[in-house]
Amino acid sequence: MTGVYSTREGFNCYTCYLALKQHFTSNYDYFKYNGKVNATPDSFETRRDKFQFYKLSKKKDYQKLILSNFIADNGKKWIGDLLTTEADNIYNEWLNRQQSLSYRFKSELSTIDDIDLSCRVVEGQHPNLLEMYLRGDISIESLIICDDLLNIFR
């Protein structure tokens, strides 16, 4: 135990941060390796920013806070950036999107007349569904759900 901070929780936060960062910035697959990374408590204890991880580990759902901020910034957040009001705002917006996911998916897709036609590549152009996402007409979550169900981009 380091003061009021738990070494185990700080280290767990550190490994979560590393695993998610590698998932977004390299070919590391968080799901394949179940979030496991090559890190040791000793290496963690020698870091100058370890207290940032201790502080972050005190937050409820720090894993989701890290994830939501990496989604927003392609894994380029520094640990100190995750302790800001901006990071909390990004997390809260992400949480709201997750909680209203099925409603948003239904309402965003209700504007599409023919989903099959919207997923086709015509004369080398982007599918209409991708264009809708790029214009901001549908969310990335809806695009991913459609891809998962219909194998659009595979």
CATH topology of domain 7-99: Helicase, Ruva Protein; domain 3 (1.10.8)
Q: Where are the domains of the chain?
A: 7-99, 101-150
Closest by CA to 95, choosing from 67, 136, 74, is 67
121 token code pair: 């590549």
Give the per-residue pLDDT at 35.
Answer: 93
Give the per-residue pLDDT at 2.
Answer: 47
94 token code pair: 């992400």
Give the per-residue pLDDT at 4.
Answer: 56
70 token code pair: 């990496």
Give the per-residue pLDDT at 121.
Answer: 82
Choose the weakest-confidence range: 34-43, 62-71, 118-127, 128-137: 118-127
User: For residue range 88-141, what is the model confidence (pLDDT) as tens digits?
Assistant: 999 999 999 899 999 999 999 898 888 888 888 888 888 888 899 999 999 888
113 token code pair: 């007349």
Q: Is the pLDDT of residue 75 over 50?
A: yes
Q: How much is the average pLDDT of 24-42?
A: 94
Q: Is the pLDDT of residue 52 over 60?
A: yes
58 token code pair: 């005190």
Q: Is the pLDDT of residue 21 over 80?
A: yes
pTM of the model: 0.77
